[in-house]
A and B are shown apart, each in its own frame.
Chain A
Amino acid sequence: MTQEHEDPKFEQWLQDAARTTYHAPRTTPRDEMWNKIVAARRNKRVIALRPWLRWAVAAAAVLVLGIGIGRWSAHQVSEPVNGTTTAEGMRTTNEIDSLASVAYQVAATQYLSRTEAFLTSFRADANRSANTARLARQARDLLTTTQLMLDSPAGDNPRLRSLLEDLELVLMQISLLNPLQDGHDRDLITQGMNQSNVLPKLRSAIPAGPVPVRTEGAL
């Protein structure tokens, strides 16, 4: 039964117009996507077998934060108030270590998620005019953290090092974009990202789920 507010002519016209003009897909790039799926799953398996590496990455990602926490905690433990026992001091140290570990997990996950969101958005906006100066500034911020991680023990793992080096290269290129003639440069950066599978590799290093859930896992 046709309801009062329905209009079959309009609905048919709308369907035809939307099917032909709204986000009309091109031919499915089957092999291209399959190759990336295979590569990402292979990469994910290797990283999943080494949970301790995730801790190393997390620790490196918040190196600066960790130093701050460490200094603060050392100050707190080294200056006990009158009447504090050694056992209480040790308990406090353990609690602080636990808090620092959580902080490492949160910060590392946020770094990886932020980098993924930034690169996903950059690639999606590759053909649009955007604020190049701002993109460059954001890339520089992420580049600093990436380089800290590369210089940490986490950089000793070949696979992680490869991912971090890919990220470093991409972020460095974006940070150097010229606002006056960035169209061609952006295309080259995007091509490079696609060829090196940076985003699938990055995503495979990020645990599934929203950030608060991710922090409950190994990372």
Chain B
Amino acid sequence: MDESTLIARVRAGDSAAERTLYDAHVDRVYRLAFRLAGDDALAQDFTQETFIRAFDRLGSFRGEAAFSTWLHTITTTVVLNGLRKVKRFRQREADIDDAHDIGVAQRHAEPDLKVRLKQAIDDLPEGYRTVFLMHDVEGYTHEEIGAVLGVETGTSKAQLSRARAKLRVALSDFAGEWVQ
């Protein structure tokens, strides 16, 4: 069964078709949510919210873009908004903690590559990080990223280039790993 037929059946209220459509796309949605969120519980929450919204709004899907593009637009919106909400909440907690920690010296152990890489990616601006994870880590094309994020393909390429440049600087201590 092709996807347009499947979508028509979902619109008609076929619950088996809903599950089939879910099964066809859930892996990619969950993977992207996990890469962006870095937490299984959050990734599951975001994936569920994505499909709930998608099924509720399927009537507004006109088929002008691929269904996967439309679905991933919802995914990135849900994930990025959700992460901003969690970040704001944590920031308020951190502000309170900072007020209590004034004068307490912080010690940092020398981190290994994995820790440094995580920190460097986490520190990227949201747009750079999203494009980097979608393209270099999850294998989306610039055309897909542009359609999903609502930006020009050139913007996606430029953001990826800047993301890589920032990561190269942040990880310069490990240059021996790739200069061989």
What is A's interface to B at a CB cutoff of 8 Å? 3, 5-7, 9-15, 17-19, 21-23, 25-26, 28-30, 32-34, 36-37, 40-41, 44, 117-118, 120-121, 123-126, 130-131, 134, 190, 194, 199-200, 203-204, 208
Contacts and interface: CB of A to CB of B under 8 A. Distances in A.
B86 to A, nearest CB: 6
A209 to B, nearest CB: 10
B165 to A, nearest CB: 6
Contacts, number: 130
Interface residues of B, number: 55
B30 to A, nearest CB: 5
22 contacts: A6-B161, A7-B168, A7-B178, A11-B164, A15-B137, A17-B117, A18-B121, A18-B132, A21-B117, A22-B38, A23-B34, A25-B34, A28-B26, A34-B26, A36-B44, A44-B52, A118-B89, A121-B89, A124-B41, A131-B93, A200-B45, A203-B45
Interface of B: 19, 22-23, 26-27, 30-31, 34-45, 47-49, 51-53, 55-56, 82, 85-86, 88-90, 93, 96-97, 113-114, 117-118, 121, 132-133, 136-137, 161, 164-165, 167-168, 171, 177-180
A12 B180 CA distance: 13
A14 B36 CA distance: 17
Contacts of B30: 25, 28-29, 33
